[in-house]
Structure 1
Amino acid sequence: MIACFLDGELSSQRFGQGLRSRLVEAGQAEQLLTHADLSDAGANLARRGLLAATRGYGENRDLFENFPAQVTWTRALLSGDEVAGARYIDYSYWVELSGGSRRPADAAARIKAGLRAFDVPNEPFVEAARAFAAGERFPPLIMVGERLDELVCLEGNLRLTAYALAGFPSDIECLIGTAPGMGRWAR
């Protein structure tokens, strides 16, 4: 999950530059994230430390406040309908973009209607949806929940919105984390 999360954020307009700066500070190359060797214990520790420093992973703070320590991770292809049933994280921007529902289909409808959340341009969503429609494939979404029918997007909310704008036309690769205590985080 850590390698997948960091690889997804590396291409993010919002988080990518900060992550690159942390890599430089740690004396690491982007290859640590783009070509993760999960059999390398030292590299795994470096990635874990990077996610802790940038997002609070394993430290019960920031994005990972109330995130369970023991999570079962599974790679899966979810149908468009399954992904459409997921919610955004409980963060003011995503709540506003979706009109309060935290549902990506509601956000897509609002974007198509020209509505913006906090006056932030919607072009990145539209550009990502076009790229997806043109055949570009994105990193897996990271979804979490206590059960598979109550998933919240931990990482990949922009990509989730792009899929919604495209109408969820195909199966979507996801990394799914489940844990009995995930409801405290995924409220």
Structure 2
Amino acid sequence: MRVLGASSEDEMVACFLRGELASRRFGPKLRSHLAVGEERLLARPDLADEGANRARRALLAATRGYGENRDLFENFPTGVTWIRALLSNEEASGVRYIDYSYWIELSGGSRRPTDAAKRIRAGLRAFEVPNEPFLEAADARSGFPPLILVGERRDELVCLEGNLRLTAYALAGFPADIECLVGTAPAMRRWAR
């Protein structure tokens, strides 16, 4: 892992929302929570604007339970240290999916994107959900926001946001230098199991 520099909770929240905004699955719900003109908070976030940072945190709380110990962020610790980094293909292939039934099924139980890629290429589906979005993303692979990865340590990471993009990278053979935000905390094990 090549560390590019420090990051922050505010950058993670902005990055998370940017990824969700582009999502077919989560984008509509996120947009339904945005007031007129608020999409600019997500498209070009100004991390120096504390009011905008508060608004983004509130939006992530409303849509995914961030800071409220519910939904996706149940058992997510406070006091996470964030960095920006580039992962090698070997490091990226070791990242696990979130502990969620769909990703477990897609990967055949391993939570490894390399296993999911093999199953997708073989035409297997998780819960009859089409695989086309993965294949389309694997063909595109440009303009992706950074993956958001978390763990107790940097060498055992789980994908918090970007599981579809992680799968696209696996289908493409994990090109080197995958940009990500990495959050670590001693209590992360309760969430990143």
Same fold, TM-score > 0.5, yes or no: yes
Separation (CA, whole Å) in 2 of partners of 1:88 and 1:166:
17
CA-to-partner distance for each residue in 1:129-186, whole Å, 9 max, x for gaps?
0112xxx231000000001111000000000000000000221000000000000000
1:186 match:
192
1:18 aligns with one of 10, 16, 29: 29
1:68 match:
77
2:58 match:
49
CA-to-partner distance for each residue in 1:71-111, whole Å, 9 max, x for gaps?
00000001111010000000000000000000000000000
1:129 match:
138
1:9 aligns with one of 16, 20, 23: 20
Unaligned runs of 5+ in 1: none
1:38 match:
47
Superposed displacement of residue 34, structure 1: 0.9
1:174 aligns with one of 174, 177, 180: 180
Separation (CA, whole Å) in 1 of partners of 2:17 and 2:73:
14
Separation (CA, whole Å) in 1 of partners of 2:113 and 2:167:
6
Percent sequence identity over aligned pairs: 76
Asked if 1:85 corresponds to 2:90, the answer is no
2:120 match:
111
Separation (CA, whole Å) in 1 of partners of 2:37 and 2:109:
40
TM-score, length basis structure 2: 0.93
2:3 match:
none
2:68 match:
59
Separation (CA, whole Å) in 1 of partners of 2:48 and 2:176:
32
Q: CA RMSD in A?
A: 0.7
CA-to-partner distance for each residue in 1:31-88, whole Å, 9 max, x for gaps?
1001000111110110000000000000000000000011000000011110100000
Task: Work out the number of aligned pairs and report it.
Answer: 182
Separation (CA, whole Å) in 1 of partners of 2:52 and 2:27:
19
TM-score, length basis structure 1: 0.96
Separation (CA, whole Å) in 2 of partners of 1:169 and 1:158:
15
CA-to-partner distance for each residue in 1:10-31, whole Å, 9 max, x for gaps?
000000011011013xx44211
Q: Could you list the structure 1 runs, at least 4 aligned residues long, displaced by more than 3 angstroms after superposition.
A: none
